[in-house]
Amino acid sequence: MPRPHEDRERHTDVDHRPGGPLIQFPPGGWYAIDTVHVKKDRVDAALSAYETLIEKARTSAAKAHAAAIFRSANDRGVIALIGLGGHDAFRHLTSAWDDHHLTAEHRAVAESSSLALYQLAASAGETILDPGSTDAYAFEHVARAPEHVRAIVGVLTAAQGFLSALVFGSDDATASAVLYRFVRAANLDAFRQSPAAQQILGPVGASGETLAAVHPVKTLA
């Protein structure tokens, strides 16, 4: 089990054990989303690095709010979702991370990463995130405007096994990210393959899209 990592700059302990409190993201809020691709043997290192980077953001001028870190089912990805106050806070976050000694470690474990500012455009269902949940989660990025993608909420609420969803729109309104939660993975797959979902989101595997089964492994309030 990973041990707490000492943040030498702040002299605080970051507990890398999985878990955390139940958290919820309010609609209209701003969020930094970083999607990281890693080698399988570096996923634990990436998770640990992000926990410390988020703690750095919480104690810096970025004043990060509730945050969640997700691990992909294939151990090739880490997704960090961090609540922020807006554009100024996002600039402070990127500056704090760039100055932090763990930035070098983050770059060493990541094959690629994509950090951007998003706004929560729509939500549906019971949107509380619980790292102890056994529900089926998936994260999807599509190169489609949030005004278009938010229509997926109506399709989701009618889908079998649906529990909740968060629809984020990128700051420049050119892309969207969706976090789904279903009772079972088969329910999620059936929804995503449905003609109604493909009409709004496009076919699975389209250019500019990523879709991955994930699970929240750490939450911070």
Q: Which amino acid is at 180?
A: Y
**Whether the Cβ atoms of residue 43 and residue 75 lie closer than 8 Å to each other:** yes
Q: Residue 220's closest CA among 28, 35, 55?
A: 55
Can you give the pLDDT at residue 36?
A: 86
3-state SS of the chain is: CCCCEEECCCCEEECCCCECCCECCCCCCEEEEEEEEECHHHHHHHHHHHHHHHHHHHHCCCCCCCEEEEEECCCCEEEEEEEECCHHHHHHHHHHHHHCCHHHHHHHHEEEEEEEEEEEEEEEECCCECCCCCCEEEEEEECCCHHHHCCHHHHHHCCCCEEEEEEEEECCCCCEEEEEEECCHHHHHHHHHCHHHHHHHCCCCCCCCEEEEEEEEEEEC
**Whether the Cβ atoms of residue 66 and residue 30 lie closer than 8 Å to each other:** no
CATH number assigned to the domain covering 28-220: 3.30.70.100
Can you give the pLDDT at residue 150?
A: 94
Can you give the pLDDT at residue 108?
A: 58
pLDDT per residue, tens digit, the chain (221 aa), is 343 343 334 434 455 566 889 999 988 999 999 988 888 888 888 888 888 888 888 887 788 889 999 999 999 889 999 999 999 999 988 887 776 544 555 555 665 678 899 999 999 999 999 999 999 999 999 999 999 999 999 999 999 999 999 999 999 999 999 999 999 999 999 999 999 999 999 988 776 678 899 999 999 88
Can you give the pLDDT at residue 11?
A: 36
Can you give the pLDDT at residue 154?
A: 94
Domain ranges of the chain: 28-220
Can you give the pLDDT at residue 49?
A: 85
Q: What is the dihedral of CA 197, 32, 135, 47, to 10 degrees?
A: 130
Can you give the pLDDT at residue 8?
A: 39
Can you give the pLDDT at residue 206?
A: 75
Instruction: Name the phi and psi angles at 172, rounded to 5.
Output: -90, 5
Alpha-carbon distance of 221 to 116, in angstroms, equals 21
